Amino acid sequence: MFTGIVSDIGEIVSVTPGGKAEDRRFVVRTRHDLKPVAIGASIACSGCCLTVVEKGADHFSVEASGETLGRTHLADWQPGTRVNLELSLKVGDELGGHLVYGHVDGVGKVVSIEPDGGSLRFVFEAPGELGRFVAAKGSVAVDGVSLTVNEVTGNRFGVNLIPHTQAVTTLGQAKAGQRVNLEVDMLARYVARLLEHEKT
């Protein structure tokens, strides 16, 4: 479990086939102290919970199955790709964002980015019916970043990124048309499910 507060911007060092032809193995460079990170630990990589299978002084390796590659934008990753990193939450840690599970619900895209005072105003588009789980003033994780939704119009929603968030996440370098991993607030999913059951 995570909070959506990015703790480092990592970089993909290499991409190789995984255990099966449709799988991939990524080596990620990081500034995190990896000594306390155990093999088998979870690290959120741009919002996707991945398992550490190997590590060195300044890098760790993870593997992504064909299923994961098909449901996220990890298939786009190449050497040099920058990724948002967050170590898993420990009991007693501050919950600065919102509860994020690292289970990507779908791949959206950046529709537009415009200056808005000292912030950047982003508009994202969610795929399919995912947009119905996004609510104004609710939370959403975009590439692993916990964000507060300003408004929702159909499958599109807007957020503001303050300069700090721009500086410490990959969203500060995002461009219109870019694909992003989306995870909606779990509470919204449960409420929607309850409402569906009430109708039947």
For position 1, what pLDDT does the model report? Answer: 85
Pick the range with the lowest mean pLDDT from 2-16, 32-46, 87-101, 146-160. 87-101
CATH number of 8-87: 2.40.30.20
Q: Where on the phi/psi map is residue 67: left (φ > 0), alpha (ψ -120 to 50), or beta?
A: alpha
pLDDT tens digits, one per residue of 51-81: 999 999 999 999 999 999 999 999 999 999 9
Whole-structure pTM value:
0.91
Fold matches, 8-87 and 106-199 = yes
In sequence order, the 6+-apart residues with CB closer than 8 A to the CB of 86 are 2, 3, 4, 5, 6, 7, 43, 44, 144
Asked whether 85 and 30 are in contact (CB, 8 A), the reply is yes
Question: So where are the chain's domains?
Answer: 8-87, 106-199
pLDDT the model gives residue 18: 77
pLDDT digits (tens, 9 = 90+) for 141-167: 999 999 999 999 999 999 999 999 999
Q: What's residue 152's pLDDT?
A: 95
Distance of CA 165 to CAs 30, 106, 121, 173, Å? 18, 22, 12, 11
* 106-199: CATH class: mainly beta
